[in-house]
């Protein structure tokens, strides 16, 4: 006598969702000793090696903070490798006008956000408010106003660099 078992799989089209198999799913555990969370962030074991560690998000961040991509290379070799990678990644330069160049608030790039921090204004500040903060800080830290004060001169240079970043970004948006 034939034994009949019922199945949820009715052929094509699939009536059940993908990934709903009855077997247990394999979960890779974080490679950090003592961690029992899923390890879903791959990290290279050594430069130019296909072997990978698999860490959880917290341990991947810890690993990345200590990672030196150019370890073991001379200054010339590191500069050559960086130049080659910038050349290979130059296609992403096309997306810069969409402000995809880095983490920001969605309307400003990473460099603009840093410049806003230097000027001490909020991320949603208008250009007039940015210009007023720049003028106030530039007048307070100008080397002619505070001669001989190296800290003020350094702050003045940082404020000027922040202003250049924000001014060129505003001109780019206006164009």
Pick 159 or 67 by higher pLDDT. 159
Check whether 70 has a pLDDT greater than 90.
Answer: no
How far is the CA of 160 from the CAs of 15, 72, 73, in angstroms? 63, 37, 35
Asked: is 102-174 a CATH 1.10.287.110 domain? The reply is yes
Place of tokens 């394999």: 26
What is the reported pLDDT for 101?
A: 46
Predicted confidence (pLDDT) per residue in 24-59, tens digit: 667 889 998 899 999 888 888 877 778 888 999 888
Predicted confidence (pLDDT) per residue in 104-151, tens digit: 556 777 888 889 999 999 888 889 999 999 999 999 999 888 888 899
The domains of the chain are located at 27-88, 102-174
Please count the CA atoms within 13 angstroms of the CA of 3 that sit on its side-chain side.
1
Angle made by CA atoms 156, 160, 166, in degrees to the nearest 5: 145
Mean pLDDT (whole number) for 55-74: 83
Quote the tokens at residue 157. Answer: 């240079």
């Amino acid at each position: 006598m034939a034994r009949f078992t019922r199945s949820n799989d009715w052929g094509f089209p699939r009536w059940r969702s993908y990934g709903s198999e009855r077997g247990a799913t394999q979960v890779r555990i974080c490679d950090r000793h003592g961690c029992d969370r899923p390890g879903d962030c791959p990290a290279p074991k050594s430069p130019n090696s296909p072997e990978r560690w698999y860490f959880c998000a917290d341990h991947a961040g810890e690993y990345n903070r200590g990672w030196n991509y150019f370890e073991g290379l001379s200054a010339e070799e590191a500069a050559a490798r960086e130049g080659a990678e910038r050349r290979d990644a130059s296609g992403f330069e096309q997306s810069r006008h969409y402000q995809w160049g880095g983490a920001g608030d969605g309307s400003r790039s990473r460099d603009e956000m840093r410049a806003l921090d230097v000027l001490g204004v909020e991320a949603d500040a208008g250009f007039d408010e940015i210009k007023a903060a720049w003028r106030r800080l530039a007048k307070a830290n100008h080397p002619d106003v505070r001669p001989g004060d190296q800290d003020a001169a350094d702050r003045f240079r940082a404020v000027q660099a922040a202003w250049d970043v924000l001014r060129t970004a505003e001109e780019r948006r206006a164009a």
